Amino acid sequence: MKNIKFWSLISVAALALSVSSCTNDNEPDTSDKNTGNVFTIKANTQDIKNGSPQTRATVDPNTQESNFIWQNDDKFDLYQSTDMTKDNVFAIKNSTINGNSADFTCSDFTSADAASYYAFYPQGFTKGEGSAFTYTIPVTAYTQTGNNNTDHLKNGMIMVANGDASGLESGISFTHKTALFRFSVMNYTGTDLTVKSINLSSAGTACFAKQYSYTVDGAESIGDKVSELNLGFGEGVAIANDAELKAYTLAIPGDALPATGESLTVEVVSDKGFVFSKTFEINAETKFEAGEYYTFNVDINFPLAEAVVANLGPDFESDGNNAAGWIKSTERDNGQGKYKGNSLITVDGVNYLAFNGGQKENQDSYLYQNVTLPVGTYQVEVDVASQEENGGGRNGVVFGIMNGSDNEFPLMTETGSPKMWRFGTKENIICEYNLKQGEYVLGTHTIPFSIDSKSTLTFGFAIMLASSPSRYLRVSAIRIIVLMD
């Protein structure tokens, strides 16, 4: 396990917003500035010393220090205490962006005789009953559009400012309410790697939150607390061998992490069914705070070029009415074991692995593929999407891995208490897991295994489904998780 590297963004992250009149010599001479109800504010960020990044509305991906800068189309809301119904929306003037400085203009600003002001970034806080303002980080803040791209962050980097309205012209200061998480993923797999998503999770603590509320008396609250963040990349981002993926996500700090007994896990999900998982130890000093960023370094040394695996979903590739790359068993010596029916079914446009009973009766049949994996410690995750079982009878689906290729899964026997189907012999069996625990279990099943040398394996499902209408089980996805040091 590795330690988390974290840096202070700023203890009270501030944006110095200097309000100016049209006669200020430091301002550009624009014809529409501060005339009538048009009002313009100059926004600057403050420098952070000791190598920490600058305060920012989002991340500048082109600098080593990842400086925060204003972005095109940024906006914030400003309210005055004497008229909390009037939302003064300040929009950035894109042409004035100069790193950490830009002009923001409100085209319908009304200067009120107010005691206090309240400003919220990004624009779009919901004003509820009384004096509460709420912002929920949108899904778009969790989709990165390319390597080292940070455009998505501005949708979720929450900041709040409030103060004495009489001091507006001398500047206002924003405080960050989110923590930023940076991922450096090095591809040392020996081949190109396409990353579909990155997941950051605790072992159970809801240490991340996605909803923030603020009231004008200064009270704050958080909601939508979760133990996992998911950063997606759409169709995926391709990383060449020996190259780096730089990725970013954020959240409002949620529940405090415990001092001992918990860890954080980063999962890098590829497009080929492999998930690269790394666990980071935490201690009493590990805590997420607003206005700080945390860096997770993940080196993928797994020799992916040596691995051979096909069609793990989701949305399994089809070969006619069957799942491409998956082999159906033929008849055994006892006259049973032939896989009956199709191994693929399409529901609402999505393809699933299908294990069917129905009128065709699958007894001691199996569906498999030959997989080659390097030495390592693994987990397989199987997502069971749906099932139906009418009545009793000989029903069960067992996931199994055997040494060698094109091996015949052993005949199954119903043993244990409660009785479940298991392989009758364990010869060459690396792991087995019955997906039926009394009743079929929907959701994700996790099966650990390890191999001490590069191996070709028989990888698949043994089926015991008796003849009865509507008896089936469907799998939506399979993932091979590589557990890395």
pLDDT per position as a tens digit, 462-475: 988 766 556 778 89
Residue 312 forms part of a structural domain: no
Pairing verdict, β 436-437 and 318-319: unpaired
With beta carbons less than 8 A apart as the criterion, state whether 384 and 443 touch. yes
In a domain, 274, yes or no: yes
Contact between 43 and 200 under an 8 Å Cβ cutoff? The reply is no
Q: How far apart are CA 466 and CA 365, in angstroms?
A: 11
Same domain, 301 and 325: no
Which of 282, 306, 330 is the C-terminal boundary of a domain? 306
Q: Are 377 and 254 within one domain?
A: no
Same domain, 233 and 144: yes
Per-residue pLDDT tens for 88-117? Answer: 898 888 888 876 677 888 888 877 778 888
Question: Total structural domains in the chain?
Answer: 2
pTM of the model: 0.84
pLDDT at 484: 93
Q: Are residues 269 and 386 in the same domain?
A: no
- Residues in CB range of 475: below 8 A, 6 or more apart: 313, 352, 353, 355, 382, 383, 384, 385, 461
Cis amide prior to 122 (ω within 30 degrees):
yes
Contacts of 255 (CB under 8 A, 6+ apart): 205, 206, 207, 225
334-363 per-residue burial string, b: 16 or more CB within 10 A, e: under 16:
eeebebbbbbbbeeeeebbbbbbbbeebbb
- Are 390 and 251 contained in the same domain? no
- Whether residues 297 and 153 share a domain: the answer is yes
Give the model's pLDDT for residue 391.
Answer: 47
Percent of the chain with pLDDT over 70: 79
Q: Is 412 exposed, middle or buried (0-12, 13-18, 19+ CB in 10 A)?
A: buried
Q: Which of 261, 284, 306 is the last residue of a domain?
A: 306
Q: Are residue 224 and residue 368 in the same domain, yes or no?
A: no
User: In this structure, are 128 and 37 located in the same domain?
Assistant: yes
Q: pLDDT tens, 182-203?
A: 999 999 999 999 999 999 999 8
Phi, psi dihedral angles at 306 (to 5 degrees) = -85, -15
| Same domain flag for 67 and 168 | yes
Measure the CA–CA gap between 298 and 270, rounded to whole angstroms.
Answer: 14
Q: Are residues 324 and 283 in the same domain?
A: no
CA proximity to 183, closest of 214, 218, 138, 229? 229
Q: Which residues contact 123 (CB under 8 A, 6 or more apart)?
A: 75, 76, 77, 89, 90, 91
Q: Is 42 part of a structural domain of the chain?
A: yes
Question: Is residue 147, in this structure, part of any structural domain at all?
Answer: yes
- List all residues 6 or more positions away from 275 whose beta carbon is below 8 Å from its beta carbon: 267, 268, 269, 381, 479, 480, 481, 482
In a domain, 330, yes or no: yes
Predicted pLDDT of residue 324: 96
Beta carbons of 420 and 471 less than 8 angstroms apart: no
pLDDT at residue 42 tops 50: yes
List, in sequence order, every beta strand (DSSP E) within 318-375: 318-319, 322-323, 327-328, 344-347, 350-358, 362-373
One domain, residues 415 and 370: yes
Answer yes or no: is 311 within a domain: no
> How far apart are the C-alpha atoms of 207 and 257, rounded to whole Å?
6
| Mean pLDDT value of segment 300-312 | 93
Give residues with Cβ within 8 angstroms of 444, minimum separation 6. 381, 382, 383, 384
358 is a domain residue:
yes
414-443: per-residue pLDDT in tens?
Answer: 887 777 888 999 999 999 998 875 456 788
252/112 same-domain check: yes
For the stretch 207-262, pLDDT in tens is 999 999 999 888 999 999 999 999 999 999 999 999 999 999 999 999 988 877 67
- 201: Cβ–Cβ under 8 A, 6 or more apart, which residues? 227, 228, 229, 264, 265, 267
Single residue among 306, 330, 360 that ends a domain in this structure: 306
pLDDT of residue 176: 84
> Which residue range(s) make up the domain with 452?
318-484
Q: Are 424 and 412 in contact (CB under 8 A)?
A: yes
For residue 460, give the CATH number of its domain: 2.60.120
